[in-house]
Every structure is written in structure tokens, then in C-alpha cells.
Amino acid sequence: MYLDYWGLNTFPFENVPDPDFMYYSPEHEEALVRLLYAVKRMKGAALLTGEIGSGKTTLSRVFIQQLPDSEFDIGLITNPSLNALDFIKEVHYQLGLESKSNSKSDLLVILNNRLLENINKGRSTLLIIDEAQLIFGETFEEIRLLLNFQMNDRFLMTFLLIGQPELRDMIRGYKQLDQRIAIRYHLNPLSEEETRNYIRFRLEKAGGRGEVFLDKAYQVIFNYSGGIPRKINNVCDLSLLIGFSMKVRVIDADLAQKVVKDSL
């Protein structure tokens, strides 16, 4: 609706995990480096946590893009609220394994054969579990057992667990699994300066030129959002829409405050 008015080619503040709109704050860069290290060195398990809307899922999509298909066999589970048997079946599905067996032992043999086959082909197997705070207790135990699939010098599969902050405490309750987490990182919210840079980056990525938000507006947006990208996107998107409807030339603090007030 407002693209032409603001001189944009696409909507800059959509809340979807689009890697093209990935903003690399110092923390996001460090998280990406750690995750890449974990999977390329076949460390067994890595943990990425952050508040709701902090950019974890978008980061995971960028992470996947940086792993060549020829070198990695990747499965992605986005709804891990499964019992142990269904979880193993989902792992099969995500890795393209076809099996109609309901025997967990049979499924594990098939999975182990795939892992060994990948190793022989020079490929690493990676399983990414998003929203991992939803995992059932019995399934955490299953993940620990799957980490027993290993050779003398490497794990046959790397797990990346992504979730909200409470995931850290949940995993601490499973000491043997907790000890297998080789890499951990927690994404904090953006600072006020990073929030300003984030908004400018997304506008520029969408084709914008020049300043759209005034300095005081950035401050209002940061105070409301606390530096959480999803909340920043919401208030910026609505600000552009209301600014278009009011035919203003820039988003000032009053307009941003109006949008924030309507969002509370």
C-alpha cells in the first residue's frame, strides 16, 4: 500500500525469516561464527537461545545458506512437540529416509546407516530443531542417545537446538545431554544504536533512499521494542502505513508514539 509513497521496492519490515533482510549485529555475527564452527567441526550439539522475536530463526536460515548441499545433509524440525518414536520418524522424514516401520530399533538402524553413508561420501549430517523449548522430556533423552552415534574422532550427526531462554534451564536438567553441548550462544536484544542501524539497513535493502525516521522517532521505537527485531518491525511497518495515510514526509516522534500507543 505504501511502497510508492516511500519510494520502496518491497516491504522492509515483514516478520518472516528472509535471509536477504538479515541484519548482522556483532552478536549475530558471533553467533553465526560459533554455529558454523560447531557443524563444520562436527562438535555433536550446539545451542542458540534468545528472546521471542530476537532473530534466531532468520539467523538459522542464513546459517543453512552457508552450508553447501554437496557437503551437508540437513534436516529442519520446526515443531518438535513429539514423543520419542514420532521424533525419530520426523528425523527420517527431514533427511529423506523412507520407512514405514514402527519399530524404534529398526528406525535407528536405518538412520545409523544413512549417517555412515554420509560420512563415506564426505558429507556431514545436521539436524536443526527450532522452538526446541517445546521438546518433551523423553525426546531430550532420545537426542542424547542419538549423540551416541559417533566414531572415534567425530560425531555422526550434529544437532543445533534453537529456542527461547528457558531452553537453557531445561537442558541443564539433563546433565548427560548438557555436557554434550559444545557450543552455546544467547542472542541479546539490539542496543539503541543497533536498533537505528537495523531500521536504516532494512529500509535501504527495500530500496529506500534518505532518512525516513527522525532521531527522536528511533528513540521512541527503541524504548517500546527494547531492541527486539520483531517488535521493531511491527512498529516501523505501522509507522510507514500511518505516515502514508497522513501524507507526512518523515516519521517523527509524535507519529511513532501514536503507533506505539495503539500497539499497547
pLDDT (tens digit, 9 = 90+) per residue, 180-191? Answer: 999 999 999 999
Is residue 144 within 8 A of residue 176, CB to CB? The reply is yes
209-251, pLDDT tens digit by residue?
889 999 999 999 999 999 999 999 999 999 999 999 999 999 9
> Tens of pLDDT along 43-92?
999 999 999 999 999 999 999 999 999 999 999 999 999 999 999 999 99
Q: What does the pLDDT read at residue 105?
A: 92
HSE (CB half, 13 Å, CA atoms) of 56?
Answer: 24
Q: Give the pLDDT score at 85.
A: 94
3-class SS of residue 64: helix
> E strands within 93-188?
124-129, 157-163, 181-187
Quick: pLDDT tens for 147-186: 999 887 789 999 999 999 999 999 999 999 999 999 999 9
The predicted model gives 21-31 an average pLDDT of 95
Confidence at 101, pLDDT banded by 50, 70, 90: confident
Rounded-to-integer distance, Cα 136 and Cα 87, Å: 10
Q: Which residues contact 146 (CB under 8 A, 6 or more apart)?
A: 91, 111, 157, 159
The pLDDT-based confidence of 28 (bands split at 50, 70, 90) is very high
How far apart (Å, rounded) are the C-alpha atoms in residues 88 and 93?
9
Q: Are 23 and 137 in contact (CB under 8 A)?
A: no
Give the span between the Cα atoms of 130 and 94, in whole angstroms: 13
Read off the C-alpha cell for 264: 499497547
Total residues found in the chain within this entry: 264
Which set of grid coordinates corresponds to residue 60? 538459522
Output the pLDDT for position 245: 96
Measuring CA to CA, which residue among 156, 187, 155, 182 is closest to residue 171? 182
Q: Which three cell numbers stand for residue 62?
A: 542464513
pLDDT of res. 151: 82
Q: Is 158 helix (H, G, I), strand (E, B) or coil?
A: strand
Do 3-11+190-263 and 26-187 fold alike per CATH? no
- How do the domains of the chain map onto residue ranges? 3-11+190-263, 26-187
Phi-psi region of 153 (alpha: psi -120 to 50; beta: other; left: phi over 0): alpha
Average pLDDT, the chain: 94
- Residue 29, helix vs strand vs coil: helix
> What value does the mean pLDDT take over residues 102-107?
92
**Residue 125 has what pLDDT?**
96
Supply 119's cell numbers.
Answer: 560420512
Confidence (pLDDT) at 150:
86
Of 180, 115, 169, the closest CA to residue 145 belongs to 180
What distance lies between CA 136 and its chain's CA centroid? 20
pTM comes to 0.92
Q: How far apart are CA 169 and CA 177, in angstroms?
A: 12
- One-letter identity of residue 54: S
Fold (topology level) of 26-187? Rossmann fold (3.40.50)
What Rg do the C-alpha atoms of the chain give, in angstroms?
22
- The model's pLDDT over 225-235, given as tens digits with 9 standing for 90+, comes to 999 999 999 99
Please name the CATH architecture into which domain 3-11+190-263 falls.
Answer: Orthogonal Bundle (1.10)
